[in-house]
């Protein structure tokens, strides 16, 4: 079994706005061509092939796409996997109850038999990636509009079908540089993933929403899973006969720690960035899109917080929902603040002036690009009212209330149902029943009723009447909140688990007719139908036109910056980013160090606040200074910062040192730098990582699960390194 002694950084083709030394989320296939020399000058001691290779085991074989939007890393040849606590949060929550509150108390399997299965959870290992631009665009030269998109979709379908190799692999084709290039990604997907260990929320989520996105940070944001395979080490559905996956590669775990200016590599699956937007898009985001979503989520979070504080059962049921709602809510606030603080509009205008000067050099360039910016301006003016209506629908109807989410999954097409054979009907019933069970497990009617009435009132009050159906306006004008709940919400069979389950189990044409007439289903269908006809269609038409302009604009940027390194926007595919360990200065008179310690946790300890109520075991360890080999200068390191460009999806990414050893797990960004999805500020953009020594300390000294360390490759600290000043 080959162990990866490598580090992270990545490169690809290019990036806009003169990338700083630490800016960029790079494709790992082009490291040799673009950045490996720069990386090595910064201290990296390995090669590009050590990071990514299809010919031999490399670092990419130890990095996985965890679930639907996080990263994880292998740390043993027995399938042991590290990721963030918040990435495994829904699984931890799903196993929790008032009787077995793993969120509050933590969970540690003492043997393989005690590890908990997680139906539906997968991890994806990237087998290979390749540029398939020529194949995707084959036969498209003379096509435009819908014909062009149809041909591209057909070409992509054929590419993916061939790459799946009789379903041995999963495959995806993603556009980069706004559709100017396309890459194929081939994955091996493992489906039996079991929970091994998770610290209490007071460690794994220490500080809660108050500390989220903030520095200094003291969160032990990690959880541990194990990947299982069949006896041939191949993917398989859960079975007691499955065995731990034999990893192609895994990361050595370093006890040596970090120092200022140390090289740090982040390898993972960043989700989405928009670094190449024109000024008109950034202005809309700052002035309307982010503020609208913040306003709606503020109302929802206020309701959830009050209900969760009043009832322990509700706290457990809504813990994951609250966290997911709050996460972007706080990030959007930091994004607006950061963009304003760095003068984003001035930067965008300056770049657009540079672009205009460039294409003015020739008549050929003028003909191709001179109309772009005026066209952007016109289209974003047209988009503005539809953008607001879309934000409100997404946040209130699609994601706002539990009852509407359930309504989405209810069958209501009798004609389509009649055409299905009996076997397919039964499969659909089984799938719907699973969703019903999941809904009611984490559903509190009193809580959702408050969200339902509050958000619907906001929907009517804040949107232009033209975006509201007459039925909705009549309903909200006729009834106050109490009567609205009585006449609509509480009359719905969707609030009664037993009745709804019976309906689905005996689903037929009459049952579908009844569901169609259900007051919640009918209201949801009315909202959805009116939105699709009056918002979604015109929004999509305008947005399609903008996307066409954006592709041309991106092509112009690439031509203008020819010879410079540009990175493509993140799209939940494997990327490398790199920088160095360093603190930052968030505002006048304040300078943040690059690390935090266990002492800071004790300074925040507050038994009266759930998110700051330090477990007694951790208090005892601190009082006796029982830190084992995980301390440096009498302190246990907890978290550290670096100037690496990360975003959502990088949660759980390995933080790797110059020798290719794991020194931490990425879990957040500093609030002052959350605008890095739009513009990267090298002075303010910092990623936050939990120090791997704190992880080992919690596993060993706090949880008594040191047996897990036995299967890891621990790289000891040198005696001289333990006394280096500021080496935490």
Report yes or no: 695 and 724 within 8 Å, Cβ to Cβ.
no
Query: Does an H or E element contain 388, and which?
Result: helix 372-392
Written as one string, the DSSP assignment of 635-675 is B-EEEEEE-----TT-TTPEEE-TTS-EEEEEEEE-GGGGG
In the residue annotation, 86 being an active-site residue is answered as yes
Contacts for 272 with CB less than 8 Å, ≥ 6 apart:
569, 570, 571, 572, 647, 648, 649, 677
In whole angstroms, give the CA distance from residue 218 to residue 227: 28
Written as one string, the DSSP assignment of 139-183 is T-TT--HHHHHHHHHHHHHHHHHHHHTTTTSEEEEEEEGGGTEEE
Query: Which position among 14, 22, 85, 86 bears the catalytic label?
Result: 86
Quick one: CA torsion of 56, 649, 181, 357, rounded to 10 degrees? -130
Residue with tokens 């024109």: 278
In whole angstroms, give the CA distance from residue 139 to residue 160: 17
| Whole-Å CA distances, 474 to 459, 465, 484 | 13, 12, 11
In whole angstroms, give the CA distance from residue 356 to residue 311: 59
Residue with tokens 């194949």: 135
Share of the chain residues as helix, strand and coil, in percent rounded to the nearest 5: 50, 15, 35
Query: Which position among 94, 279, 492, 651 bears the catalytic label?
Result: 651
In the residue annotation, 221 being an active-site residue is answered as yes
In this structure, the strands spanning 243-244 and 595-597 are unpaired
Q: Is 356 exposed, middle or buried (0-12, 13-18, 19+ CB in 10 A)?
A: middle
In whole angstroms, give the CA distance from residue 399 to residue 330: 17
Report yes or no: 664 and 682 within 8 Å, Cβ to Cβ.
no
Query: Does an H or E element contain 190, and which?
Result: strand 181-190
Report yes or no: 49 and 58 within 8 Å, Cβ to Cβ.
yes
Q: Write down how long the chain is.
A: 728
Which of 537, 633, 644 is closest to 584 using CA atoms?
Answer: 644
SS3 214: coil
Written as one string, the DSSP assignment of 60-125 is GGGEEEETTTEEEEE-STT-EEEE-TTTSHHHHHHT--SSS-HHHH-EE-SSGGGPEE-TT--EEE
Contacts for 669 with CB less than 8 Å, ≥ 6 apart:
213, 646, 647, 676, 685, 686, 687, 688
Report yes or no: 225 and 685 within 8 Å, Cβ to Cβ.
no
Query: Which position among 50, 127, 221, 677 bears the catalytic label?
Result: 221
Known catalytic residues are: 86, 221, 651
């Amino acid at each position: 079994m080959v162990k990866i002694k490598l580090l992270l950084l990545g490169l690809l083709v290019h990036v806009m706005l003169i990338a700083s030394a630490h800016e960029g989320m790079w494709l790992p296939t082009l490291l040799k061509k673009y950045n490996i020399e720069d990386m090595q000058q910064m201290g990296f001691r390995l090669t590009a092939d050590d990071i990514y290779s299809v010919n031999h085991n490399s670092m990419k074989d130890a990095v996985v796409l965890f679930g639907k939007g996080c990263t994880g890393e292998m740390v043993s040849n027995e399938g042991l996997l590290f990721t963030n606590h918040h990435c495994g949060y829904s699984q931890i929550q799903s196993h929790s109850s008032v009787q077995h509150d793993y969120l509050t108390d933590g969970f540690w399997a003492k043997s393989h038999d005690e590890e908990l299965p997680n139906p539906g959870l997968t991890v994806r290992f990237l087998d290979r990636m390749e540029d398939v631009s020529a194949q995707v665009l084959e036969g498209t030269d003379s096509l435009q509009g819908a014909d062009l998109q149809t041909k591209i979709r057909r070409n992509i379908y054929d590419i993916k079908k061939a790459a799946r190799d009789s379903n041995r692999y999963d495959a995806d084709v993603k556009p980069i540089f706004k559709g100017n290039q396309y890459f194929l990604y081939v994955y091996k997907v493992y489906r039996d993933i079991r929970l091994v260990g998770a610290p209490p929320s007071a460690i794994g989520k220490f500080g809660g929403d108050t500390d989220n996105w903030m520095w200094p940070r003291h969160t032990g944001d990690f959880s541990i899973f194990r990947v299982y395979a069949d006896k041939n080490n191949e993917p398989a559905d859960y079975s007691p006969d499955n065995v731990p996956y034999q990893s192609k590669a895994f990361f050595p775990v370093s006890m040596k720690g970090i120092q200022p200016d140390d090289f740090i590599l982040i390898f993972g699956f960043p989700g989405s960035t928009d670094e190449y937007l024109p000024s008109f898009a950034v202005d809309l985001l700052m002035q309307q899109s982010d503020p609208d979503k913040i306003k709606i989520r503020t109302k929802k979070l206020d309701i959830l917080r009050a209900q969760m504080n009043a009832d322990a059962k509700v706290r457990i049921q809504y813990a994951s929902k609250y966290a997911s709602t709050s996460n972007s809510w706080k990030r959007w606030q930091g994004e607006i603040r950061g963009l304003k603080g760095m003068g984003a509009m001035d930067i965008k205008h300056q770049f657009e002036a540079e672009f205009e000067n460039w294409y003015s050099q020739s008549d050929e360039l003028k003909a191709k690009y001179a109309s772009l910016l005026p066209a952007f301006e016109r289209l974003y003016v047209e988009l503005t009212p539809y953008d607001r209506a879309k934000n409100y629908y997404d946040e209130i109807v699609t994601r706002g209330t539990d009852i509407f989410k359930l309504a989405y999954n209810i069958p209501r097409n009798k004609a389509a149902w009649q055409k299905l054979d009996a076997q397919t009907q039964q499969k659909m019933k089984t799938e719907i029943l699973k969703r019903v069970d999941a809904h009611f497990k984490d559903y509190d009617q009193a809580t959702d009723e408050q969200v339902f009435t509050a958000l619907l009132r906001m929907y009517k009050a804040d949107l232009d009447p033209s975006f509201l159906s007459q039925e909705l306006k009549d309903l909200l004008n006729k009834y106050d909140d109490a009567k609205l709940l009585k006449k609509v919400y509480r009359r719905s069979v969707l609030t009664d688990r037993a009745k709804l389950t019976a309906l689905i189990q005996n689903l037929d044409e009459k049952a579908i007719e009844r569901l169609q007439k259900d007051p919640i289903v009918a209201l949801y269908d009315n909202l959805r139908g009116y939105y699709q006809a009056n918002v979604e269609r015109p929004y999509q038409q305008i947005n399609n036109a903008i996307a066409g302009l954006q592709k041309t604009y991106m092509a112009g940027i690439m031509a203008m910056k020819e010879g410079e390194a540009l990175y493509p926007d993140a799209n939940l595919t494997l990327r490398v980013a790199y920088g160095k360990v360093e603190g930052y200065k968030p505002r006048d008179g304040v300078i943040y160090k690059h690390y935090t310690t266990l002492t800071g946790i004790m300074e925040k300890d507050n038994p009266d606040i759930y998110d700051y109520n330090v477990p007694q075991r951790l208090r005892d360890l601190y009082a006796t200074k029982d830190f084992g080999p995980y301390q440096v200068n009498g302190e246990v390191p907890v978290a550290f910062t670096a100037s690496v460009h990360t975003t959502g999806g990088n949660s759980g990414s390995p933080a790797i040192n110059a020798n290719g050893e794991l020194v931490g797990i990425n879990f957040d960004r500093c609030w002052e730098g959350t605008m890095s999805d739009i513009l990267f500020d090298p002075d303010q953009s910092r990623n936050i990582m939990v120090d791997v020594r704190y992880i080992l300390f919690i596993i060993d000294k706090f949880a008594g699960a040191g047996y897990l360390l036995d299967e890891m490759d621990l790289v000891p600290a040198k005696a001289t390194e333990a006394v280096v000043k500021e080496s935490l």
